Amino acid sequence: MKKILVINGPNLNMLGIREPDIYGKQDYEALCEYIDECAKKLDIAVDIFQSNHEGDLVDEIQAAYGEYDGIIINPAAYTHTSVAILDALKAVGIPAVEVHLSDVSKREDFRRISYAGLACEEHFIGLGFEGYKKALEWFVK
């Protein structure tokens, strides 16, 4: 059975509270339940980690070394700023897929840059929760 780690960055734990037009109405717990259900159907063992702290995200990526077959990452705002997360993904060399709920290419200019994305083999952007399902399916193929 494949072991996949899902990593979510800052403020994703606040989903559903504001900006439903951008991020949808469902909360973070619903996202985690959705990911768990999708993983079960695909026969994937999944762990989900969320943090608001860049260093904790780096620590989690490092700890994944030798433990997981793949990483699905939505670094949230750190997507657009964090060379540390990019370097951590490169350092562990675990196949990684980038997910964003919203279509970052159609928002503010600063959201068009993705550092973490440079270390990812596939990207599912602007598909809402479904992006996580597509990312899990990518690891099955």
- State in angstroms the smallest separation of the CB of 107 from ligand CA2: 7
CB of 11 to ligand CA2, least distance (A): 4
Pick 62 or 105: Cβ nearer ligand CA2:
105
C-alpha separations of 132 from 38, 76, 113 in Å: 9, 14, 20
> Chain centroid to CA 17: how far?
19
**Residue 80 annotated in active site:** no
Footprint on this chain of ligand CA2 (rule: CB under 6 A): 11-12, 14-15, 17-19, 23, 74, 76-77, 79, 100-102, 104, 111
C-beta of residue 96 within 8 angstroms of C-beta of residue 120? yes
Q: Which residue is nearest to ligand CA2 (CB)?
A: 102
**Opening angle at CA 105, ends 99 and 106, nearest 5:** 120
Which lies closer to ligand CA2 via its Cβ, residue 43 or residue 109?
A: 109
User: What is the amino acid identity at position 121?
Assistant: E
CB 74 within 8 A of CB 5: no
Q: Which is nearer to ligand CA2, 2 or 123 (CB)?
A: 123
For the question of residue 100 being annotated catalytic, the response is: yes
- Closest CB 7 distance from ligand CA2, rounded Å: 12
Residues 80/9, Cβ–Cβ less than 8 Å: no
Alpha-carbon distance values, 35 to 9, 39, 80, 118, 131 (Å): 16, 6, 24, 24, 10
Q: Catalytic pick from 68, 78, 100, 115?
A: 100
In the complex, least distance from residue 23 CB atom to ligand CA2, rounded to whole angstroms: 5
Q: Which residues carry out catalysis?
A: 23, 100
